[in-house]
């Protein structure tokens, strides 16, 4: 009973109980707005857009500049979406599980090919609005009774061009 504790006392003469509040509910002060040039600060279970340094085959222009409307890292390789599993502020990095898009449904699943990576905070471009859910694993051979679930994310907004979508 933290800040909204109440004590109800009844008098023998009165029919209605009297409510006494021990603590007044406190108003939350809105946090100060961050500067426009500050990098986003991801938390655990956020979906982030990050620079994908390990992408081998890229179709970026020779000068390294991305075409209009696409996102790319400094090296010209595409960026990826990933789910943050752990944040280490002392190292300035976060542990990210890469996500890949399922073409049939448009939802984003954990990659089974690409391993979990450690991403520096300066390589995180944005925290993406996404809805997390779970569904029954579709493999009926290893999951005959429907007991296993897989995590998936639905991206709320538009995913920019140049984001790695496949599980290669």
Confidence (pLDDT) at 145: 86
Higher-scoring residue by pLDDT: 78, 26: 78
Q: How far apart are CA 41 and CA 48, in angstroms?
A: 10
Dump pLDDT digits (tens) for 114-163. 999 999 998 999 999 999 999 888 888 888 888 888 999 999 988 888 89
Task: Produce one character per residue of 10-19: b if its CB has 16 or more CB atoms within 10 Å, e if not.
Answer: eeeeeeeeee
What three-state secondary structure class fits 123? Answer: helix
Contacts for 98-104: CB closer than 8 Å, 24+ residues apart? 98/164, 99/47, 99/153, 100/164, 100/165, 100/166, 100/167, 101/159, 101/165, 101/166, 102/152
Across the range 41-51, mean pLDDT stands at 91
The percentage of the chain sitting over the pLDDT mark of 70, rounded to a whole number, equals: 62
Q: How far apart are CA 120 and CA 130, in angstroms?
A: 21
Show the DSSP H helices in 28-144 as ranges: none
Higher-scoring residue by pLDDT: 159, 31: 159
> For residues 58 and 67, is the Cβ–Cβ distance under 8 A?
no
Confidence (pLDDT) at 39: 66
Confidence (pLDDT) at 50: 93
Of residues 97, 44, 70, the one with CA closest to residue 161 = 70
| Domain parsing of the chain, residue ranges | 47-164
């Amino acid at each position: 009973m933290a800040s909204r504790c109440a004590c109800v006392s009844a008098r023998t003469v009165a029919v209605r109980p009297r409510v006494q509040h021990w603590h007044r509910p406190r108003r939350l002060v809105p946090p100060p707005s961050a500067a426009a040039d500050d990098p986003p600060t991801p938390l655990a279970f956020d979906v982030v857009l990050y620079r994908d340094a390990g992408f081998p085959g890229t179709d970026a222009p020779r000068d390294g500049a991305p075409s209009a409307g696409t996102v790319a890292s400094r090296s010209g390789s595409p960026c990826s979406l990933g789910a943050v599993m752990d944040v280490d502020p002392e190292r300035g990095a976060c542990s990210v599980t890469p996500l890949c898009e399922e073409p049939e449904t448009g939802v984003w699943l954990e990659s089974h090919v690409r391993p979990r990576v450690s991403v520096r905070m300066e390589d995180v471009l944005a925290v993406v609005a996404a809805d997390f859910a779970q569904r029954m694993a579709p493999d009926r051979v290893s999951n005959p009774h429907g007991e296993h679930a897989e995590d998936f994310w639905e991206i709320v907004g538009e995913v920019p061009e140049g984001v790695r979508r496949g599980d290669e």
